[in-house]
Amino acid sequence: MRIIDSILHKLSILIQLPLVIIFILFEEVIWEGIAQPIYNKFRSLRVLQKIETKLQVTHRSVILFSFIIIFVIVEAAGIFAGILFVQGQILLGLGLYITKIPIAAFTFWLFKVSKEKLLSYGWFDWIYTKIMTLFEWLKSLEIYQSTMQNVRKVKEIIKTKFRAFKEKYFAEESAFAKRFKRLYIHMKKLFRQE
C-alpha cells in the first residue's frame, strides 16, 4: 500500500509542478513585471476614466459582448504567439506576445470596472468562481508555497545585487559615473563643433 501511495504522491507532484510553474511564470513575470505596470498606467489615463463613466450607464450585454470579443482576440494572439515559438519564429512570437500585453491590460481593466455587470450573468459568475477556486487551490499546494519562497529569495538576491551594481557604477560620486559624464561632455562638444 505504501508503494502505491508513494507512486500516487509522485504522480500528483508531477501533474502539479507544471501547473504551478506556469501559474508562477504568468503571475510573477508576466503580470507583476509587465502587465500590472501597464494596467496601472491604463487606469490613470483620462480617456479611460471617461470610458469608465460611460460604462456605468452601458447595458450589461454590450459590456459582455465587448469583453468577450477583446478577451478572445487576446487569447488567440497568445495561442498564435505560442505556435510561432514552437515553429522557431521566436522574435515574431515574442513581438506578438508583447503586443498583446497592453490589450490584455485593457481587458483586465474592463473586467475590473464592469465586474458587477459581468457577474450578473449566472454562467459568467460560475466560470469566474471556478477559475478563482482553481487559483486558490494552486496557491494552497505545498509545491506552490515552497516554490514561491524560493522565488522571493531569488528576487531579493537580484534586487540586492542590482542595488550594489547601481551604487558602484551609477552613484553620483563613483569613478565610473564621473568618467562617463566626462565622455558625454566631450562627445557633446565634438558634435557642437561639426
Instruction: Give the three cell numbers for residue 156.
Output: 531579493
CA–CA dist 143, 21 (Å, integer)? 10
Residue 31 pLDDT exceeds 90:
no
Supply the pLDDT for residue 68: 93
Average pLDDT over residues 114-141: 89
Instruction: Give the three cell numbers for residue 178.
Output: 564621473
Span of 90-99, 157-166, 185-194 with lowest mean pLDDT: 185-194
Residue 109 pLDDT exceeds 80:
yes
CA–CA dist 7, 13 (Å, integer)? 10
Write down the residue that cell numbers 471556478 correspond to: 130
CA dihedral 137, 69, 101, 140 (to 10 degrees): 0
Residue 20 pLDDT exceeds 90:
no
Domain ranges of the chain: 2-66+101-140, 141-194
Write down the residue that cell numbers 469583453 correspond to: 67
Supply the pLDDT for residue 24: 64
Residue 54 pLDDT exceeds 60:
yes
Q: Give this prediction's pTM.
A: 0.62
Burial 74-98 (b: 16+ CB within 10 A, else e): beebbeebeebeeeeeeeebeebbe
Average pLDDT over residues 77-88: 85
Write down the residue that cell numbers 510573477 correspond to: 28
How confident is residue 73, by pLDDT bands cut at 50, 70 and 90?
very high
Average pLDDT over residues 154-159: 80
Supply the pLDDT for residue 29: 60
